[in-house]
């Protein structure tokens, strides 16, 4: 179980840190999960600073959130009485909807998958396919093979295959062993499905970002999906299978997003480009007239209620400014009784004889101003930086915006949204102690955040290479030969191996030199414990292939250590070491 904290730092930049990664033995009931989560929060001393919790959609998670909400309520007052505490993962909901849609054309997806696999199986088949593409003068593109655990790769495979729908029948005429050619009706169905999936694909990428606020983007994406589903469902000329597919998607939509989500809607209002206008625009198109009006009033009430809580907190903390008149819901003033004095009596007399308009709050001023017009440019709009620039103008509301905009509406980043594959620990790390895994995962996340590094997208597979670069050596040939013995369909070079674990030319030369030096034993342990598991994770190698790599590395380090021993015995350690230094510098230069 992983616990990630999201917050806005002093420079108004969105930050996230992996706070804990613990092994949670079964049973995975809500009570056990809640106890472990609360313990992690107490260890970090942030149990009084939790605003919301974002979790996947599961019954045990619902129980977890309910238990945590009750626990936090005893310690502190939750915002809006806890109505915004539970945030359901939007990406997970979209995945459920897409899964139902793709199940309606499962046999077509299977045929296209088999077709792409058949064509890419050997070079002669691929060349034949390329010849037909050139004859039809189609733009040069490549077929994409899906990863069955990632629905976005299924969408990419289908959208790429559509561009070659004229090629497949001609290929079937020339290749008698090809039996998985989709029919014209199948291609029509694929086009219909891709038209729908394109909206889900775009929405998932947008709301799953981890480097920018997403709570303010939720409403617009949900509106797009709702309009699309209603349009397809109400179109009498649409195909029956499309109606059936959309109907299943709509059921999940109504189940999770049928009622307005207060936190997401307040996040949209706190986007200066939207404010209340986005609610007034979307709700009449998403709900019946009466329900739309009720939901708008509901959102306004929650907005002012939450703002009132921030006002109380600001005043109790001794914030600057006049807290005496703070406009609440329906324009009613929240008055703090002044101490009895001659000046206060005079102020009361002035209020009686003169019609003094109450001072407007930050929230009223913000809503009454026009929406911020964002000119299209190369730099996307950053809502947090806008609030940073206007934090003096909206002292209280900017604090509220900082907290709301830091809330993630998904539990995973975009690189892991489409599949749980990259969220599963590989077999090597699974064999480590839970404490060691936590150190590696948390430490890696903190180091990347500290140095501004990004994780590599593991969905990009390493391409096969049949040629060697100038840096290849005898060990490269041995590794290549061993891989060919284990799997004839692919081959790798040592350069691929080093590149896949982040090594460049300099690091490779250091490894070669270290084999001749006095740190050979340490380098041997580093190679056996780091490079091998990293390669197995990156290339999904079998245990047999992994043992070959380990054997080659071990043998190479033995040769290096023996050679160094011979040099040291014959010429002396200092002389041999200086010679190796000079040789290494000349080699690298």
- Residue where a domain stops, chosen among 88, 123, 153: 88
Q: pLDDT value at position 140?
A: 66
Domain match, 30 and 74 both = yes
Q: Are 136 and 168 in contact (CB under 8 A)?
A: no
Asked if the structure places residue 111 within a domain, the reply is yes
β partners of residue 53: 86
Domain match, 548 and 525 both = yes
Would the pLDDT of 238 be above 60? yes
pLDDT digits (tens, 9 = 90+) for 297-329: 999 999 999 999 999 988 887 655 555 444 444
Asked if the structure places residue 461 within a domain, the reply is no
- Residues belonging to the chain: 589
Domain coverage including residue 19: 1-88
Instruction: Specify the higher pLDDT residue, 453 or 534.
Output: 453
Asked if the structure places residue 313 within a domain, the reply is no
Domain match, 78 and 156 both = no
pLDDT digits (tens, 9 = 90+) for 248-275: 889 888 888 877 788 889 999 999 999 9
pLDDT digits (tens, 9 = 90+) for 501-528: 444 555 555 555 554 444 445 555 555 5
pLDDT-derived band at 559, boundaries 50, 70, 90: confident
pLDDT-derived band at 387, boundaries 50, 70, 90: very high
Asked if the structure places residue 288 within a domain, the reply is no
Taking residues 272-288, report their average pLDDT. Answer: 91
Strands 53-55 and 2-8: unpaired
Domain match, 573 and 488 both = yes
Asked if the structure places residue 162 within a domain, the reply is yes
Q: Are 32 and 23 in contact (CB under 8 A)?
A: no
Please say whether the dihedral angle defined by the alpha carbons of residues 565, 567, 572 and 573, taken in this order, is positive or negative: negative
For residue 493 the two structure tokens come to 């070079």
Domain match, 80 and 162 both = no
Domain match, 66 and 116 both = no
The count of structural domains within the chain is 3
Domain match, 64 and 115 both = no
pLDDT-derived band at 458, boundaries 50, 70, 90: very low
Domain match, 67 and 30 both = yes
Would the pLDDT of 491 be above 70? no
pLDDT digits (tens, 9 = 90+) for 398-409: 999 999 999 988
**Coil, helix or strand at residue 7:** strand
pLDDT-derived band at 466, boundaries 50, 70, 90: very low
Asked if the structure places residue 258 within a domain, the reply is no
- Residue where a domain stops, chosen among 136, 166, 199: 199
Domain match, 56 and 122 both = no
Domain match, 480 and 578 both = yes
- Residue where a domain stops, chosen among 152, 179, 199: 199
Instruction: Specify the higher pLDDT residue, 580 or 538.
Output: 580
Domain match, 135 and 169 both = yes
Asked if the structure places residue 347 within a domain, the reply is no
What contacts 256, CB < 8 A, 6 or more positions away? 57, 88, 93
**Coil, helix or strand at residue 18:** strand
Domain match, 555 and 525 both = yes
- pLDDT averaged over the chain? 76
Q: Are 213 and 264 in contact (CB under 8 A)?
A: no
Taking residues 567-585, report their average pLDDT. Answer: 67
pLDDT digits (tens, 9 = 90+) for 397-447: 999 999 999 998 887 654 444 444 444 555 556 667 888 888 888 888 888
Q: Are 307 and 400 in contact (CB under 8 A)?
A: yes
Would the pLDDT of 479 be above 60? no
Q: pLDDT value at position 478?
A: 38
pLDDT-derived band at 392, boundaries 50, 70, 90: very high
C-alpha span between 23 and 198 (Å, rounded): 37
Looking at mean pLDDT, say which of 215-219, 387-391, 582-586 comes out highest.
387-391
Asked if the structure places residue 13 within a domain, the reply is yes
């Amino acid at each position: 179980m992983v616990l990630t904290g999201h917050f806005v730092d002093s420079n108004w930049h969105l930050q996230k840190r992996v706070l804990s990664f613990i092994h949670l033995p079964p049973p995975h009931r809500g009570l056990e999960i809640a106890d472990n989560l609360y313990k992690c929060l107490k260890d970090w001393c942030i149990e009084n600073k939790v605003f919301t919790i974002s979790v996947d959609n599961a019954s045990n998670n619902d129980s977890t959130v309910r238990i945590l909400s009750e626990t936090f309520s005893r310690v502190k007052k939750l915002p809006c009485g806890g109505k915004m505490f539970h945030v359901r993962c939007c990406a997970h909901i979209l995945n459920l909807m897409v899964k139902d849609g793709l199940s309606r054309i499962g046999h077509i997806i299977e045929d296209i998958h088999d077709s792409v696999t058949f064509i890419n199986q050997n070079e002669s088949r691929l060349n034949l396919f390329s010849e037909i593409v050139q004859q039809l003068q189609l733009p040069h593109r490549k077929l994409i093979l899906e990863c069955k655990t990632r629905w976005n790769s299924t969408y990419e495979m289908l959208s790429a295959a559509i561009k070659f729908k004229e090629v497949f029948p001609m290929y079937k005429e020339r290749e008698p062993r090809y039996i998985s050619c989709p029919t014209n009706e199948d291609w029509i169905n694929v086009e219909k499905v891709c038209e729908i999936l394109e909206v889900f694909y775009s929405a998932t990428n947008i709301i799953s970002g981890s480097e920018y606020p997403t709570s303010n983007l939720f409403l617009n994406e949900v509106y797009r999906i709702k309009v699309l589903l209603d349009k397809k469902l109400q179109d009498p000329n649409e195909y029956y299978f499309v109606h059936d597919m959309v109907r299943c998607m709509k059921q999940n939509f109504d189940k999770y997003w049928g009622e307005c989500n207060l936190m997401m809607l307040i996040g949209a209002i706190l986007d200066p480009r939207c404010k209340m206008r986005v609610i007034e625009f979307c709700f009449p198109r998403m709900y019946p007239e009466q329900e739309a009006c009720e939901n708008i009033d509901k959102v306004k009430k929650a907005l002012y209620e939450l703002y009132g809580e921030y006002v109380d907190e600001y005043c109790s903390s001794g914030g600057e400014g006049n807290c005496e008149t703070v406009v609440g819901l329906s324009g009613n003033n929240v008055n703090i009784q002044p101490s009895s004095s001659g000046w206060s009596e005079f102020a009361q007399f002035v209020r009686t004889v003169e019609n003094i308009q109450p001072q407007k709050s930050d929230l009223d001023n913000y809503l009454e101003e026009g929406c911020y017009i964002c000119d299209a440019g190369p730099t996307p709009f950053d809502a947090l930086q806008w609030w940073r620039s206007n934090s003096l103008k909206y002292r209280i509301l900017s604090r509220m915006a900082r907290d709301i905009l830091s809330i993630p509406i998904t539990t995973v980043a975009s690189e892991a949204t489409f599949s749980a594959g990259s969220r599963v620990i590989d077999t090597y790390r699974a064999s480590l102690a839970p404490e060691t895994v936590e150190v590696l995962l948390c430490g890696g996340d903190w180091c990347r955040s500290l140095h501004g590094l990004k994780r590599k997208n593991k969905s990009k597979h390493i391409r096969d290479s049949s040629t060697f670069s100038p840096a290849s050596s005898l060990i490269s040939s041995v590794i290549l030969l061993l891989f060919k013995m284990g799997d004839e369909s692919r081959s790798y070079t040592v350069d691929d191996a080093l590149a896949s674990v982040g090594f460049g030319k300099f690091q490779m030369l250091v490894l070669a030199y270290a084999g001749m030096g006095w740190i050979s034993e340490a380098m041997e342990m580093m190679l056996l414990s780091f490079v091998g598991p990293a390669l197995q994770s990156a290339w999904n190698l079998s245990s047999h292939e992994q043992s070959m790599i380990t054997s080659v590395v071990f043998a190479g380090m033995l040769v290096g250590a023996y050679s160094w021993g011979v040099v040291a015995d014959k010429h002396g350690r200092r002389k041999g070491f200086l010679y190796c230094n000079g040789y290494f510098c000349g080699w690298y230069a």
